[in-house]
Structure 1
Amino acid sequence: MRKILVFLSNGVEILELAPFIDVFGWNSVIGGKKNLIEVETFSLRESINCTWTLQIKPQIIISNEEEIDIDQYEALVIPGGFGMGGFFVDGKNLKIQNIIKKFIEKKKIVIGICTGAILLGEAGVLKNKKATTYFLDNERYFKQLKNFEALPVKERIVRDENIFTTANPESALEMAFILLKILTDEKNMNLIRLNMGYN
């Protein structure tokens, strides 16, 4: 079975995580066996405190990066979050950075939603790549992209080869549908959109 891997850090914003769980969940019911794609969550912690009080238990808790078999997954998704919730702490962890680098090396799809792009920058994979992130709030995150030697673009969704970055929580749902289209096809993606009420 094909899979996508979703990284969870303390401070994650649930609106940036939920679309991937929901879109691929609906796909598992409506998309048929040939389009079946499982979502697995992973973290360094047994329990994640989201920004807005919700707690999540990841499916996979890693102690080192070798515990993740990159070849099992089609894509890596990094939902963004708030620094006040501790979101950026895990992004500085070498285990997480090495997992990100391995996905890039194997030319897998890597997605940074909103401030999730900052974790890609921390891993060093945005150098000379077009990218976006949350660019309101005095552009402080956008300026970080420049520090990572990325090529900042003030757009909602930016693709540079196999790396996608997005600018805000609103874009997460559209990015989930884009990923579904890439991994299945446009007809199936439109079927899932229609059944979820997005037509």
Structure 2
Amino acid sequence: MKKVCLLLPNGFEAVEASVFTDVIGWNKDEGDGTTELVTVGTRRELTCTWNFTVIPEKILSEVTVEEFDALALPGGFETAGFYEDAFRPDVLQFIREFDRQGKIIASICVGALPIGKCGALTGRNATTYHLNERKRQIQLAGMGANVLPDQPIVIDRNIITSYNPATAFDVAFTLLEALTTKENTDQVKRLMGFQPAIQKGVEGLV
């Protein structure tokens, strides 16, 4: 069984976390059944960006990197206190150890910033939130990353980064494919309704 740690700092965006719980959960029940996800919070109770309250299964001090095969990181808002938790020394050390062991790290939007802050993206290709005058991409570049500003998803060895919340499902499916196979991931996508025929139908309504 491949175990994914969904790391949740306070102030995270619920939608960016939920894609990981759904895709990994769907695979456990409807795919090849080889994945499970554990929610790990920086606190016993977390408040999302817009006041959605979450109680994680475990807190950071109760787990080790060795328990997991991959790390998933949603982004969040500064006004909700995301960076206060995401940049904590214990959080950065946890991320750094995942990278040191070569384990997969998948992030969405500004979830890339704690990865950069811990030093794991130094000299490596990455991206993060690309709008609002590219402020966050400039910040990530200042952490030593080689930012690819217009690429929605960037993969550099074991690290996946993306440039806005709209990429969330694609990042989660990319993680699932890395943990299982393309064939299995395509099957989970089909069962979840991610089919080209449906997308074409929506375009036809415009």
| Coarse TM-score class (shorter-chain normalised) | over 0.9
Residue 124 (structure 1) aligned with residue 122 (structure 2): no
Separation of aligned partners in 1, 2:60 and 2:155: 29
Aligned position for 2:204 = none
Regions of 4+ moved over 4 Å: none
Residue 99 (structure 1) aligned with residue 97 (structure 2): no
Aligned position for 2:20 = 20
Contact 2:10/2:42, CA 8 A, preserved across alignment: no
Aligned position for 1:38 = 36
Root-mean-square deviation over aligned CA pairs: 1.1
Separation of aligned partners in 2, 1:2 and 1:139: 35
State the 1:39 CA deviation: 0.5
Which aligned pairs between 1:26-175 and structure 2 lie closer than 5 A? 26-32=26-32, 35-63=33-61, 67-154=62-149, 155-175=151-171
Residue 191 (structure 1) aligned with residue 187 (structure 2): yes
Separation of aligned partners in 1, 2:115 and 2:178: 21
Letter in 1 for 2:106: I
Separation of aligned partners in 1, 2:63 and 2:28: 23
CA-to-aligned-CA distance 1:109-133 (integer Å, 9 cap, x gap): 0122100111111111111011100
- Structure 1 unmatched runs, 5+: none
Letter in 2 for 1:73: F
State the 1:68 CA deviation: 2.5
Separation of aligned partners in 2, 1:40 and 1:160: 24
CA-to-aligned-CA distance 1:150-198 (integer Å, 9 cap, x gap): 1010210001111111001111101111111111111111111111110
Contact 1:42/1:59, CA 8 A, preserved across alignment: yes
Separation of aligned partners in 2, 1:144 and 1:58: 29
Contact 1:2/1:72, CA 8 A, preserved across alignment: no
Separation of aligned partners in 2, 1:8 and 1:41: 7
Letter in 2 for 1:7: L
- What's the TM-score, normalizing by structure 2? 0.91
State the 1:62 CA deviation: 2.8
- Structure 2 unmatched runs, 5+: 196-206
Letter in 1 for 2:108: I
Separation of aligned partners in 1, 2:24 and 2:87: 29
Separation of aligned partners in 1, 2:111 and 2:93: 15
Separation of aligned partners in 1, 2:138 and 2:5: 28
- What's the TM-score, normalizing by structure 1? 0.94
Letter in 2 for 1:59: E
